[in-house]
Amino acid sequence: MAAKTLTIDGKQISAEEGATVLQAATEAGIPIPTLCHLEGVYDMGACRLCIVEITGIPKLLPACTTKVAEGMEIKTNSERLRKYRRMILELLFAERNHVCAVCVSNGHCELQTLAYSQGMEHVRYDYTFPKWNLDTTHRLFGMDHNRCVLCNRCVRVCWHIEGAGTKNVSGRGAKSRIITDLNMPWGDADSCTECGKCVMSCPTGALFNKGSTVGEMERDRDKLEFIVNAREKKQWIAD
């Protein structure tokens, strides 16, 4: 495949044609913060944390869904980007009820980690304190919409790794929410295979193993990675 040469943060790099800016940066050892991105499933640019500046394009573009092109000049960590990333995080915190102190993922949460890394020590926007339900009808797992950031990871792993298609998104804007089957309680969703991949993929405490309490949810992503490697690289034996 043809190689493209481009510049990321002043560093000359080459990347395969068809690669995303995020892939190119990662390969070159340039970190870009991400939230909805998950290795093994397609990218969709849901969270906008990975936005980058590209010379000649006035809009900020998500690195995960932007393909590399010859001669691109990209900035990944400008003052402007840091400002917007922090704004995005604060809006995520304000949009739902993220109460770290009582969350199953406290200390292992990707949203929390991102907040620290972007220097967020408070939220400048009014919290919306929306009323969301908790679905604990499933035998093994629970879903707390209060903690959901709508990254769609659970939807993508459910459809594209497990192939069950139980999880979906319903509604629009701030009222969007994850549903199971035809908007029925998770426990009644016949298509769910109880594989737990959605729980493994969740970046926050929105999906959890029943019975876990504050700080107890540590995600095991190794299984997802194993399945993806097995399929894509034909590596059927784990290291």
Partner 1 sequence: MKIRLATVWLGGCAGCHMSFLDLDEFLIDLADAVDLVYSPVVDVKDYPENVDLCLIEGAVCNEDNLEILHKIRARTKVLVSFGDCAVTGNVAGLRNVIPVNKLLQRIYVDGADANGCIPHDGLPQLSKLARPAQDFVKIDVCLPGCPPQNKVIAGFLNNLLEGRKPETNQKIKFG
Q: Which residues bind partner 1 (CB under 8 A)?
A: 93, 97, 99-103, 106-107, 112, 115-116, 121-124, 126-127, 129-132, 215
31, 33, 51, 120 from 116: Cα distances, Å: 15, 12, 18, 6
Residue 33 to residue 165: CA distance in whole angstroms: 28
Residue 196 to residue 203: CA distance in whole angstroms: 14
Question: Which C-beta is closer to partner 1: that of 53 or that of 135?
Answer: 135
Least separation in angstroms between residue 126's CB and partner 1 is 7
Question: Which C-beta is closer to partner 1: that of 26 or that of 136?
Answer: 136
Question: Which C-beta is closer to partner 1: that of 131 or that of 234?
Answer: 131
- 43 C-beta neighbours (distance < 10 Å), count: 19
Environment class of 45 (CB within 10 Å of its CB; exposed 0-12, middle 13-18, buried 19+): middle
Least separation in angstroms between residue 147's CB and partner 1 is 12
Least separation in angstroms between residue 43's CB and partner 1 is 28
Question: Which C-beta is closer to partner 1: that of 3 or that of 134?
Answer: 134
Per the CB < 8 A criterion, the answer to whether 179 and 168 are in contact is yes
Residue 208 to residue 199: CA distance in whole angstroms: 6
Question: Which C-beta is closer to partner 1: that of 107 or that of 171?
Answer: 107
Least separation in angstroms between residue 92's CB and partner 1 is 13
Question: Which C-beta is closer to partner 1: that of 112 or that of 166?
Answer: 112
Least separation in angstroms between residue 174's CB and partner 1 is 15
Q: What are the residues whose beta carbons fall under 8 Å from the beta carbon of 114, sequence distance 6 or more?
A: 33, 35, 49, 89
Least separation in angstroms between residue 122's CB and partner 1 is 4
Q: Reduced to 3 states, what is the DSSP secondary structure of residue 230?
A: helix
